[in-house]
Structure 1
Amino acid sequence: MLRLSIGYLNNSEVVGVANTVGICPCCKRKTRLTYHHLIPKKMHRRQYFKKHYTKAERQEGVHVCRQCHSGIHRFYDEMTLAKNLCTLPLLLADEQLASFFSWVSKQRVKVD
Structure 2
Amino acid sequence: MTERKPDHCQLCERPTRLTYHHLIPKKMHRRTRFQKQYGRDELNRGIWVCRKCHNGIHRLYDEMTLAKQFASLDALKQDPSLQRHVHWVRKQKS
TM-score range, shorter chain: over 0.9
Q: Which residue is equivalent to 1:68?
A: 53
Q: Which residue is equivalent to 1:56?
A: 41
Report the TM-score, using the length of structure 2 for normalisation: 0.94
Give 1:30-49 correspondences, 5 Å limit: 30-49=15-34
Structure 1 residue 25: Cα displacement = 1.4
Whole-angstrom CA distance in 2 between matches of 1:25 and 1:55:
23
**Structure index of larger Rg:** 1
Between 1 and 2, higher relative CO (CA 8 Å, sep ≥ 6) is seen in 2
State the superposition RMSD in angstroms. 1.6
Structure 1 residue 22: Cα displacement = 1.6
Matched to 1:102, the amino acid is H
Identity %: 53
Report the TM-score, using the length of structure 1 for normalisation: 0.79
Give SS of 2:16's match: strand
Whole-angstrom CA distance in 2 between matches of 1:43 and 1:98:
24
What per-residue deviation string (whole Å, max 9, x for no partner) do you get for residues 42-83 of structure 1? 000101100110011001101100000000000000000000
Matched to 2:46, the amino acid is G
Matched, 1:97 2:82: yes
Structure 2 gap segments, 5+ residues each: none
Matched to 2:36, the amino acid is K
1:83 pairs with one of 68, 75, 78: 68
